[in-house]
Structure 1
């Protein structure tokens, strides 16, 4: 039986696919439900579908609840990025009552998949293109403030960074490994985690995508690199998106020489856009601090998805290499001995594989 939104039915109580079918019917694109193709969300509360749209296709994001388009983060940040000339998908239609945003269909080619089969020259070209986009995002910082964008009012402040590190502690040691540290170990570990959060929070802030990894970069039908999943943009350290691009979900730590080369290229890309000069050694130190925080935050997510939500097939394999990357950064920094000790003691014990 077809459902409709009435005075007694809240939109969020109608399944996402049915809400979308209802919207398409209203929009003159009535289709058989079988032509609404579910796309795989990535640890997201949103449901994504590829849909027929007036003779072509589009991608619809269906949110869990209705929203006000005037204050919706995705719409706000998309408008900001588009105004800054960044290659985000075009928003085609919005239906706040049903919690639906219809946007341009960029296809299925993630940069992650392309890099796995690319030649060395193409891989280099694509990574440099992506690094250039990070510098372009950072160059939009003043515009974000001028527009009073939602992202200009959010930051990787001490509270946010500490919350993410608490999430790591809860789900890596607790949910995944079922361990309880001694009171003294927990105190020492959390003291260092909060010290890390305070130090990163004190760094100069600039506009960050926040999840600039290679699965959030698409290669469209014309071969152009496009940015998706940008609704959580906020102000943070200059190194944040570069760490995400180079180190998120890697199978093994990259060489220190490669990371140094990428950092220097990024600093040149910033300079070419008139952004303030950053000392390379100081940037390297911040990059390592961000690597530790971002890596531990990611391990918390992978652990939660594996142990709490039963999605180990997709996430568990990244836990050990991410911890190896974090440990590499910690050794380079020569700091945070308790974090180093706790990770080193467990890195050869891949318990995540047993629960995946």
Structure 2
């Protein structure tokens, strides 16, 4: 038993929520790409039925629980389903949370279930953006610096570290131009409440108020299309292009109905969303490489090809992203093939 785990057990024994109950030894509940760990315990009151709760272990030297607690409150007040915070110790980095179950969107999505599940998730997203207008002002800004830093994960970790690719002088210049175009597109969109990791592993299928929403602690005020494209061009599950366009249109119509966009903005909306997706997948591919090389999490290497396929497919549609397509075609995809 590690010192940190013993610290967690000691904290559980002080929680008022668990007074006059028996509870089981914490068991791992899920994997996380950060330093956070999640455990599940079964709780048996003196009278009544047993139930389960989740423990978030977020070492304070690496993670800050305060944004999770604050944003959980904001989202709950908007009528969205999030884990209730039952107990908290921000100094030690422990939270006791309501358990939303094991049924992630990723585990439940099929051709038959997708339409209803995505309809719920898109409606929840529009609720976040409409009802979160005021709260968004209190969030960190999705600045050009942050957008650029995220894109640099692609060149620093996927290209340089994972594939040993060094850009030529002309490629570096084209890369800087691409980053500016993508950042400008993101900043020129309407700015809204952004979850920042809205996808099938962070959405839970729940019986009431679907979906349950997790992993929202990094929320920012940023581009309107960011969360929708994170979900519709998910790094962990893919859908036919025609289906994605249908969901894009459904989302667009919900936004227009909520007066977040003009119904005449369709073509500009699609392009903005596509370019946003390119920024997102540059970031994601770099993160997956970093998780392997820095953190030893090999499984994320399997998710890199999906991100690169999105970059290549969508990049071909726009003049602004042709340099990226050439880089992928000439250097990145062949290097991935050699390493496969």
Of the candidates 100, 121, 133, which is equivalent to residue 130 of structure 1?
A: 121
Task: Tell me what 2:183 maps to.
Answer: 197
Of the candidates 126, 143, 150, which is equivalent to residue 134 of structure 2?
A: 143
Q: CA deviation at 1:26?
A: 1.7
CA contact (8 A) 1:165 1:296 kept: yes
Q: Residue 251 and residue 50 in structure 1: after superposition, are their counterparts in 2 closer, same or farther (change >3 A)?
A: closer
- Are residues 1:315 and 2:300 paired? yes
The equivalences for 1:233-248 within 5 A come to 233-248=219-234
Q: Residue 251 and residue 228 in structure 1: after superposition, are their counterparts in 2 closer, same or farther (change >3 A)?
A: closer
Task: Please state whether the residue corresponding to 1:232 is helix, strand or coil.
Answer: coil
- Are residues 1:45 and 2:35 paired? yes
TM-score, length-scaled by structure 2: 0.88
**1:122-174 Cα shifts (integer Å, max 9, x gaps):** 221111111111111111232315xx64x2xx122211100001111100111
Contiguous gaps of at least 5 residues in structure 1: 2-13
CA contact (8 A) 2:36 2:57 kept: yes
Q: CA deviation at 1:68?
A: 12
Task: Tell me what 2:52 maps to.
Answer: 57
Task: Tell me what 2:69 maps to.
Answer: 75
Q: CA deviation at 1:338?
A: 2.0
- Measured on the aligned residues, the alpha-carbon RMSD in Å equals 2.7
Q: CA deviation at 1:67?
A: 11
TM-score, length-scaled by structure 1: 0.85
Q: Residue 96 and residue 321 in structure 1: after superposition, are their counterparts in 2 closer, same or farther (change >3 A)?
A: closer
The equivalences for 1:113-128 within 5 A come to 113-115=107-109, 118=110, 120-128=111-119
**1:215-245 Cα shifts (integer Å, max 9, x gaps):** 1001236684211111111111111111110
**1:8-53 Cα shifts (integer Å, max 9, x gaps):** xxxxxx8432221001112264999972112233211111111234
Alignment partners' CA distance in 1, 2:237 and 2:121: 20
Q: Residue 216 and residue 68 in structure 1: after superposition, are their counterparts in 2 closer, same or farther (change >3 A)?
A: closer
Alignment partners' CA distance in 1, 2:117 and 2:237: 19
Q: Residue 82 and residue 289 in structure 1: after superposition, are their counterparts in 2 closer, same or farther (change >3 A)?
A: same
Q: Residue 221 and residue 260 in structure 1: after superposition, are their counterparts in 2 closer, same or farther (change >3 A)?
A: closer
Task: Tell me what 1:329 maps to.
Answer: 314
CA contact (8 A) 2:24 2:42 kept: no
Alignment partners' CA distance in 2, 1:182 and 1:276: 41
**1:28-86 Cα shifts (integer Å, max 9, x gaps):** 649999721122332111111112345322101111118999x8111111111111111
CA contact (8 A) 2:225 2:272 kept: yes
Task: Tell me what 1:35 maps to.
Answer: 25
Task: Please state whether the residue corresponding to 1:275 is helix, strand or coil.
Answer: coil
- Are residues 1:24 and 2:12 paired? yes
How many residues were matched structurally?
A: 331
Alignment partners' CA distance in 1, 2:145 and 2:62: 26
Alignment partners' CA distance in 1, 2:44 and 2:134: 34
